Amino acid sequence: MKADNMSILSNILTFFIIFLLNSSSSSSNAAVQDFCVGDLTGPENPAGYPCKNISKVTANDFYFPDFLTPHITYLPKFNASATLGFTPYFPGVNGLGLSLVYFAIEVGSFVPSHTHPRANEVIVMIEGSIIAGFISSNNKAYYKTLQKGDVFIFPQGLLHFEVNVGNITAKILAAFEGSSPGIQGTIMSLTGNDLPSDVVEKVSLIFDKDMVKKFKAMFGGTN
């Protein structure tokens, strides 16, 4: 009995000694576990980019200056512009399961219906007024007119949109629970590809030939 207890105790001690040796020998890598700044030269996979060598990570990897100036993308077709705070544009969010987008919609314009296949989204109105909404998978539309300070949620994968209904540029901050939420525009996806026009015409249910051609030209599609 006593001998059993001794051997249990010695097993436990051995376990802790091995544990301490392991953790001290890998302590130089410990910080790698805290985050995984994206190494943009590596291949992107569904989990994101491989981690940048920790010795090369600086505060700048977690810093995005002047985010509320839409300087990354201008979308002339929609008179809207955006700052994209997800990978690859913001390597610090890689692997953290979050990201941020700022967008500005000019008077009279809109963000056409689209989905984010890999993330839920929450928006905060910074300025202006929009109608924001989504359509559930049983075709119910949930929408609201938002003013400065209001918040709205778009659940993952559901069609959603924003329409500026105010007299000033609408400014919106969006957060995603995913560092690479993905964007799939409803009409852009149908037409911005090489799927033959007659197939697009059939499967869209609403397009005629001229409409297919018009949107193929608009979104870079062929065939």
Using DSSP, state whether 5 is helix, strand or coil: helix
Among positions 182-211, residues that touch ligand NAG (CB under 6 A) are: none
Instruction: Name the DSSP letter for residue 26.
Output: T
Q: Looking at 23, 26, 53, 73, which residue binds ligand NAG (CB under 6 A)?
A: 53
Could you say whether residue 33 binds ligand NAG (CB under 6 A)?
no
Interface with ligand NAG (CB under 6 A), residue total 9
**Closest CB to ligand NAG among 53 and 222?**
53
Is 71 annotated as contributing to ligand binding? Answer: no
Does 136 contact ligand NAG by CB under 6 A?
no
Q: Are 97 and 127 in contact (CB under 8 A)?
A: no
Binding of ligand NAG at residue 167 (CB under 6 A)?
Answer: yes
133 is a site residue for ligand NAG (CB under 6 A): no
**Using the rule CB under 6 A, which residue among 42, 88, 97, 108 binds ligand NAG?**
108
Question: With binding defined as CB under 6 A, does residue 25 bind ligand NAG?
Answer: no
Q: Is 116 annotated as a binding residue?
A: yes
| Minimum separation from the CB atom of position 100 to ligand NAG (A) | 25
Asked if residue 67 binds ligand NAG (CB under 6 A), the reply is: no
Which among 83, 85, 127 is positioned nearest to 106, based on CA atoms? 127
Instruction: Report the residue from 92, 95, 166, 181 that binds ligand NAG according to the rule CB under 6 A.
Output: 166
**Starting at the edge strand that comes first in sequence, how are the strands of the sheet with 129-135 ordered?**
141-147, 129-135, 159-164, 110-115, 184-185
Near ligand NAG in 76-105, by CB under 6 A: 78-79
Task: Give residue for tokens 């955006």.
Answer: 82
Kindly give the pairing relationship between strand 141-147 and strand 129-135.
Answer: antiparallel
The sign of the CA dihedral 139, 144, 148, 151 is negative
Q: Report, in Å, the least distance between residue 168 CB and ligand NAG.
A: 8
Q: Give CA–CA dist 171/163, Å, rounded.
A: 12
Residue 137 in the binding site for ligand NAG (CB under 6 A): no
Q: Are 179 and 93 in contact, with CB atoms under 8 Å apart? A: yes
Q: Are 201 and 215 in contact (CB under 8 A)?
A: no
Candidates 48, 34, 35; CA nearest to 178 is 48
- Taking CB under 6 A as the criterion, the residue among 27, 41, 55, 58 binding ligand NAG is 55
Q: How far apart are CA 32 and CA 50, in angstroms?
A: 11
Minimum separation from the CB atom of position 194 to ligand NAG (A): 25
Q: Provide the binding-site residues for ligand NAG, judged by CB under 6 A.
A: 53, 55, 78-79, 108-109, 129, 166-167
